[in-house]
Chain A
């Protein structure tokens, strides 16, 4: 028997009280731990969002609406002007076209269906020039009709796969070519490759030329796997669109310069182009993330404060209740320090026990709490951010666009998929905070213990 074992034993002296105190404490410790983990997870998300969005600017020909036509294509000269501006690290350029059955010997992996045929018949009646590269044709044989294949000439080949979320485009085989060098090579979506039994190294015919498949990619869905990507100058040459750019994505050095650089580009290109940046998306995404982070921080402070108050009041209550016992210990020769040690051990026992349960609660609750916070604060943002993407000007919707806007979506989608990272550090935080809370609780107890006069034991109860 010593001050340690007495302290531990005293923690369990009154079962109902022990259960009540440990219950309350473990809930508040568990809550503060899950808030801490949520806070960390959101912090990491903010860092990655800051890295991935808010530093790109899209340039599209003014008024163009996908393959509906409209607008005058940009020129390579215009892009050169943009390139000379400051803060610009790189520009991804692309030009779009579609391969019909008359210009290639391969087939789309997407079945046209009756709807597609009707569409085609209407288009064949006239006005299909833009879509089919300006070549005029005879009315085609509708029974053998397949959908045209979107083809993109791009300086950033894998980055221009359309219809796929941020990091989900993978190269299944082969190599990525240099998109700025003219060569008769192509990256082919897995869907088309499978449909036409092509492999890396196989060749196919398009624009009257033999093209070699340099690699096959998987974009994760049917739409993105039904595309062909080729070098920008090659498509410009083969589709007779030399000097033409259908869209460009400007990467800048830092999100801080987004506004000024956007204005500089607008001044350089005038009314010939629609310039949009992802500032609003970034702001909305970061704003909601920062909101959740604040909520989690305040909840963390609140829950930890509650735990400290619980143990503080508990210790005050326990010391007051055992005044006489403290007096006895002092009267028979215990020092203040020894009595304080005993009560500190008691409070540490209670908090460590509560921390052990709190860590389990925190680990289990961290991810649901993070998701709950994220879903509540971002549902509005997500709804309002998703809609404008489809309405944005430019040909991105139909193919050949860059992944930037999918990045934005990805960032927001990422919030919903936020996962708290529960690892061994939770043990450190849990027990560390328990000791800290116990220490806070014990200081009040120690003050009261020092005040108990041993002569009080002489009084009758």
Chain B
């Protein structure tokens, strides 16, 4: 429990509950979840399929609204954000990495990385320069930067997705099973990439994973079971 005292909390979650109306009744995907993640830490969330991990990440990313409870990111309460501020939050404060990459299929790797910067109002030449630099940083070489996602491997697509998540220099990166579709070795490389980023840029990362060997190497791990937080163990 030493971590929580280090630095300021980037993320504070209190009594978070999310229920869905489904068919005959109510499915509670998340029940009264509370935790805190300090700035610059790499946190992992583990749990069986259906335990509420993606639901939690959606709420943290402002893609969905909680039934009750509160989320404070970088000192700001998400519940208080109006439409416009919420869009700005998704665009600049956080960066999302998905299990199935979710790149736009008819845009090149470079254009995909440029998208969030366009939404953020950066001028075109700035977007292109920074996108190139980011793709170099995640290890996608020049020729592949001009390819569309369909002509890149899974690992390469996930590198592009990470570059896109970093585009607007977010404070918080949310990754939902980023290595889930990759072979073990590639998964490890992607994880190392995220890890080194969190170190060099002091970016806070929350990553959902199945892989316990990966979870074991993060700063903090949360385990979800049936929508409830069961353990809160620090590894480092």
Which positions in A face B, CB cutoff 8 Å? Answer: 1-2, 6, 9-10, 13, 324-325, 328-335, 338, 453-455, 457-461
Contacts and interface: CB of A to CB of B under 8 A. Distances in A.
16 contacts: A1-B115, A325-B105, A328-B102, A330-B90, A331-B102, A332-B90, A333-B87, A333-B168, A334-B91, A338-B119, A453-B63, A454-B90, A458-B54, A458-B55, A458-B58, A458-B176
Interface string B140-181: 000000000000000000000000100010000000100000
Contact of B98 (A1, A6, A458): A458
B99 A460 contact: yes
Given A332-B119, A332-B164, A333-B91, 18 more contacts: A1-B114, A1-B118, A1-B124, A2-B118, A9-B106, A13-B106, A332-B91, A332-B115, A333-B88, A333-B92, A334-B87, A453-B63, A453-B64, A454-B63, A454-B64, A455-B58, A457-B98, A458-B98
Interface size for chain B: under 10, 10 to 19, 20 to 34, or 35 or more residues? Answer: 20 to 34
A110 to B, nearest CB: 79
A335 B96 contact: no
Contacts of B57: 458
B235 interface: no
B120 A333 contact: yes
A453 B99 CA distance: 18
Given A454-B63, A457-B98, A333 B119 contact: yes
Interface of B: 54-55, 57-58, 61, 63-64, 84, 87-88, 90-92, 96, 98-100, 102-107, 111, 114-116, 118-120, 124, 164, 168, 176
Report whether over half of chain A's contact residues are helix, strand or loop; otherwise say mixed.
helix
Given A458-B54, A458-B58, A1 B111 contact: yes
Contacts of B84: 335
Nearest to B110: A1
Contact of B87 (A13, A335, A461): A335
Contacts of B96: 331-332
A19 to B, nearest CB: 17
B118 A332 contact: no
Nearest to B120: A333
Contact of B119 (A13, A334, A459): A334
B75 to A, nearest CB: 20
A328 B104 contact: yes
B63 A455 contact: yes
Nearest to A10: B106
